[in-house]
Chains A and B, each alone.
Chain A
Amino acid sequence: MNTKNLGGILDKINELRALFIFGQRVIPFLEELFYFVHDIVPVLEEINVSIYESANKMPRASSQLNKVTEATEVATTEILDNLDGVLSKLNAIDSHFQAATDNLEALGKLDEKVLTLIRESLGESHTALVDEITGIFKLKQLHLKALVATAGGLENSIKDIRAKANDIMISLQVQDITSQQIASVNHLIESVQDRLASLIDRFKLSGAELIDEIEKVEHRSFDPHATYDRSGAKQKSADDIIKEANSMKVKLNGIGEETENHASQDEIDKLFGKGA
């Protein structure tokens, strides 16, 4: 064995030493890792169960949301039925009031005729009696006028009630808007459910087969941005766009007639949201 070989052996021993030193350092970490994995297994099992349960509960949540939509639609229909009933009764009351007002006015005119007849027949001979009857008729006229005024006031109240009923009808549009919002949430739930199902499938968790069996609920078409906003801001914005489009149409129709009013391609693209 020469010096060169001994040097090689020493190098190998040094490498082994370094390996042992590294091992000494790594072993506590490996032990820690072992305990960590040991502890984490039940947690992972719990997560698996939780994922499975969540995925299973989602169709139920989705179906319950659909039931909310159905219930609100039924309730809204009932409210609309009642509103129709109220409006039809109001129309009937309105025509009764009109008839009553006409009758009161006719009564007033008849009284005037009776008074004229009494004056013509008894005027000269029974002045005191005629004056008394005139006083009574005047008082009656005042009462008739008061009744007509009351009827007019009631008619105005009916008008207000009708306006409120129409306002309720406008508010009931909230049913359509909330049902679209619910449909949007249902869509999200379905997406999460799909993700969870694929996760369960990927990790071959127990219950993966059951997830496939879960029936998917049919959802209505929806606008994810549907909001109940009665400020009229959205309508104004739509009106502005339409106004702009119409003026553009006028310009386009004018091509060849008024060269200064021509719409450029840029303007047309801007109108239809193309280009920059």
Chain B
Amino acid sequence: MKFLVVDDSQTMRRIVNNALKGIGYDEIIEAEDGKDAIAKLYTEKIEFIITDWNMPNMSGLEFTKAVRADEQFNSLPILMVTTRGMKEDVMEALQARVNNYVVKPFTPQVLKEKIDQILKTL
């Protein structure tokens, strides 16, 4: 399964990348922000998106809305991984149609749990 990890923090991309590899996913593409991610969506065969919220140029929320607005990516799994843990944030992300939500700092177990939950519903 090919993952797209979107985060402006190099550290976080690396940590998510390591966590994914640790749970058995080796195909990982990285993007620095929503705009970069959109470009990669059209050039790579992405099957699962893990995105941060707070990013320059295009936030994770805007990116999610843009992805959902395109019919071909309408049902592409999106997992939001962010520091934003307020109720309103989760609501907003759900309204933008993310499939699940992880609050930083997270453990690889939580990441795996959420990915599994999403994949089970597909």
Interface size for A (C-beta < 8 A) is 37
Whether B83 pairs with A238 at a CB distance below 8 angstroms is no
Known: A77-B14, A242-B94, A272-B95. A177 touches B83 (CB 8 A): yes
Indicate with 1 or 0, residue by residue over B5-35, a CB within 8 angstroms of chain A CB atoms. Answer: 0011111101100110010000000000000
Cβ–Cβ < 8 Å partners of B59 in chain A: 221
A117 to chain B minimum Cβ distance, whole angstroms, is 47
Is A186 positioned at the interface, with any CB of B under 8 Å from its CB? no
Cβ–Cβ < 8 Å partners of B91 in chain A: 241, 271-273
Is A234 positioned at the interface, with any CB of B under 8 Å from its CB? yes
Whether B15 pairs with A238 at a CB distance below 8 angstroms is no
Alpha-carbon gap, A126 to B36, bound state (A)? 82
B76 to chain A minimum Cβ distance, whole angstroms, is 18
Whether A225 pairs with B87 at a CB distance below 8 angstroms is no
Alpha-carbon gap, A234 to B83, bound state (A)? 9
Stretch at the interface among A34-42, A102-110, A137-145, A166-174: A166-174
Q: Is the interface of A mostly helix, strand, loop or mixed?
A: helix
Known: A177-B105, A241-B90. A221 touches B11 (CB 8 A): no
Q: Nearest chain-A residue to B53 (Cβ)?
A: A223
Q: Which one of A77, A235, A238 contacts B10 once the chains associate, using CB atoms below 8 Å?
A: A77
Is B63 positioned at the interface, with any CB of A under 8 Å from its CB? no
Is A245 positioned at the interface, with any CB of B under 8 Å from its CB? yes
Alpha-carbon gap, A172 to B108, bound state (A)? 13
Is A220 positioned at the interface, with any CB of B under 8 Å from its CB? yes
**Chain B residues within CB distance 8 Å of chain A:** 7-12, 14-15, 18-19, 22, 53-56, 59, 82-88, 90-91, 94-95, 100-108, 110
Could you jot down 9 A-B contacts, CB within 8 Å? A169-B19, A170-B15, A172-B15, A179-B9, A221-B59, A238-B85, A238-B101, A241-B87, A241-B101
